[in-house]
Chain A
Amino acid sequence: MVSPLVLSLRVAGLATLFAVVFGIALAALLARRRSMAANITDAAVTLPLVLPPTVLGYYLLVLLGAQSPLGAWLESIGIDLVFTWQGAVVAATIVALPLVVGSTRAAIEAVDPDLRDVARTLGRSNTAIFLIILLPLAWRGLLAGGMLAFARALGEFGATLMIAGNIPGRTQTLPIAIYDSVQAGDLASANRQALLLTVVAVVLLVGIRYLGSALAGRNARGRG
């Protein structure tokens, strides 16, 4: 038995980790690229932002279910994502990913392009330039993206319900538990759980705002 709060934090934490890792790689690939392939990738990554979560969850269910080739293959190597908390992590990662990519990409593109050009004339590889110059200068954007991703993952409901279901103690995250409490008429529990999520959201938002203003302040000085 895992409490909804612990499960929510575990799912959101892992989803944020995956979203940040994949998000950095995608942001590095997409920054300052305007090719057709880049645009299509960008659209695919951004899609979960505009798609209703239930639709996304339905697609995941179809894609990862035992009937699909991918699902069958995953099952054969012992990975079961349908109606498990790991499935919730997949759903939360996909909804959180565009927030990390968008924020990190914007921060990378805000870095003076001359820095990259000079670094190239100094004999450094693109990977080294990304790790030593671009990422450290874009860390505030990455951190803000990570916090947004965590908040979004923590509040994930629709897609999670579709792929992971509502199994108390196994896949019942906090937002789903709130829904359950309201359905059961247990408003005391609903109030407590809702307040908990609200406090976490407010703390994250204040943090993001602070990072945003610090970033703007640094850029303004840089131009002076």
Chain B
Amino acid sequence: MAAADFRASFELRLPDFNLAPRFEIGPEMAVLFGASGAGKSLTLRALAGLVRPDQGYIRLNGHALFDSEEGIDLPPQDRGVGYVPQHYALFPHQSIAKNVAFGLHDLPNAERKARVSELLARMRLEQLSDRKPGEVSGGQQQRTALARALARRPDLLLMDEPFAAVEEDLRAHLREELLRIQKDFAIPVLLVTHSRAEAYALAERLIVISEGEIVQSASRDDVFRRPRTPTVARLMGMTNILQVKVVDGSGTELLADWGAFRLAIAYSGSRAQGSTLTVGIRPEEIRIAPAGSEAQSANRLTARLAKDEPQGVDHVLQFTVDDQLLEVRVSHPAFMALDLSAGQERTLRVEPESIHVIPDPD
């Protein structure tokens, strides 16, 4: 692999938490995604130099920001890393223009003014330059924080939950803008979020963190379609995780048994007969056959509806198959057409392509 622009591999031990992330990113939009408490914000703070890891290294464009073996620990002032914390931390007593200029103290006056007006124009903030942060909208605050961080031309930009303080209907627009900015500045951007929708909309590279460790780091589609562990699968919304027993692993499709049911799985590798395999199925990729269909051939399961959970435009249906649970997601119109009620038995169908082999059981 070519030298990545940014590499980090460190360990930070706290009394009740152990953070040990290891990943690399290029000049791309990378999203650090995980549940609350997984260590996302702490990772950003360590990269920015605001907390000190116990050991390991953090390298940006070939030089060390932190290296425990070489005794290097650059202060945040000297890292060339832009940092936008959650809620932006704009200086409330200073104007938008002064906020943007804050990091440009070492530039000559004329150059500083030019840089500030260039950024204000780029972020469409010229009209607001004399306002205080408390007098502008959430989206404008976000752009101010971005402009302030980019003013020093950092080699890496870190953003913690940048859309948390923004109205829902503005987010799509701001996401597009952020992607454009990343392309313009051509630096690695590492953004933290706990929202799957946001991660999907933004990430070129998706880095999944769980309990302080990186469980998968790959292109967005790779992580969404081929989660490496059950934890990643669940975080990606692949809520059905099944243990199946391989019956025939030699053909183009792998045959395996899940309880009394036989499943054909699209899988190119080979697996020994009798071995156990972990597979995942997205709840929206399970079809419900109309009443009266028989459940004989492969990939058809007889299931009983245990619970219907309406979630906005969708229904999340809990089916029991023997003594196991299977989650199915259908749209409201489809649900109405099925005429389903709790306790009814139906046939469920899954395409072989919709059953994903999870290579590393946790």
Residues of chain A having any CB pair with chain B under 8 Å: 112, 114-115, 117-125, 128, 132-133, 136-137, 221-222
Contacts and interface: CB of A to CB of B under 8 A. Distances in A.
Interface in B233-262: none
A118 B89 contact: yes
Contacts of A118: 83-85, 89, 148
Contact of A122 (B49, B87, B92, B102): B102
A136 B106 contact: no
Given A117-B48, A118-B83, A123 B89 contact: no
A123 B93 contact: no
A121 B91 contact: no
A121 B93 contact: no
B83 A121 contact: yes
B173 interface: no
B63 interface: no
Contacts of A122: 102-103, 148-149, 151-152
Contacts of A125: 77
A114 B133 CA distance: 15
B85 A117 contact: yes
B76 A120 contact: yes
B50 A120 contact: yes
B82 interface: yes
A114 B89 contact: yes
Given A123-B77, A124-B77, A136-B93, A117 B50 contact: yes
Interface in B139-164: 148-149, 151-152
30 contacts: A114-B85, A115-B89, A115-B91, A117-B48, A118-B85, A118-B148, A119-B91, A119-B102, A120-B50, A120-B75, A120-B76, A120-B77, A121-B50, A121-B77, A121-B81, A121-B82, A122-B102, A122-B149, A122-B151, A122-B152, A123-B77, A123-B78, A123-B103, A123-B106, A124-B77, A125-B77, A128-B105, A132-B102, A133-B91, A221-B134
A124 B50 CA distance: 14
Nearest to B101: A122
Interface of B: 45, 48-50, 75-79, 81-87, 89, 91-93, 102-103, 105-106, 134, 148-149, 151-152
A221 B132 CA distance: 14
A112 to B, nearest CB: 6
Nearest to B87: A114
Nearest to B78: A123
Contacts of A121: 48-50, 76-77, 79, 81-83, 149
A117 B77 contact: no
Nearest to B77: A123
Nearest to A133: B91
A132 B82 CA distance: 20
A174 to B, nearest CB: 38
B120 to A, nearest CB: 16
Nearest to A125: B77
User: Which 10 pairs between the two chains have the least Cβ-Cβ distance?
Assistant: A122-B103, A114-B89, A120-B76, A121-B83, A114-B85, A121-B76, A118-B89, A123-B77, A117-B50, A115-B89
A108 to B, nearest CB: 14
Contacts of A133: 91
Given A117-B76, A222-B92, 15 more contacts: A112-B89, A115-B89, A115-B91, A117-B45, A117-B48, A118-B83, A118-B85, A119-B91, A120-B77, A121-B77, A122-B148, A122-B152, A123-B106, A124-B103, A133-B91
A65 B77 CA distance: 48
Residue in B77, B78, B106, B149 with the greatest tally of chain A CB atoms within 10 Å: B77
Nearest to B84: A118
A132 B105 CA distance: 12
Contacts of B151: 122
Nearest to A224: B134
A222 B132 CA distance: 13
A16 B234 CA distance: 62
A118 B50 CA distance: 9
Residue in A117, A118, A137, A222 with the greatest tally of chain B CB atoms within 10 Å: A118
Contacts of A137: 92-93
A125 B106 CA distance: 12
B162 to A, nearest CB: 13
Residue in B48, B89, B149 with the greatest tally of chain A CB atoms within 10 Å: B89
A100 B209 CA distance: 46
A124 B102 CA distance: 8
B179 to A, nearest CB: 23
A136 B95 CA distance: 14
A136 to B, nearest CB: 5
Contacts of B148: 118, 122
Contacts of A136: 93
Nearest to A139: B93
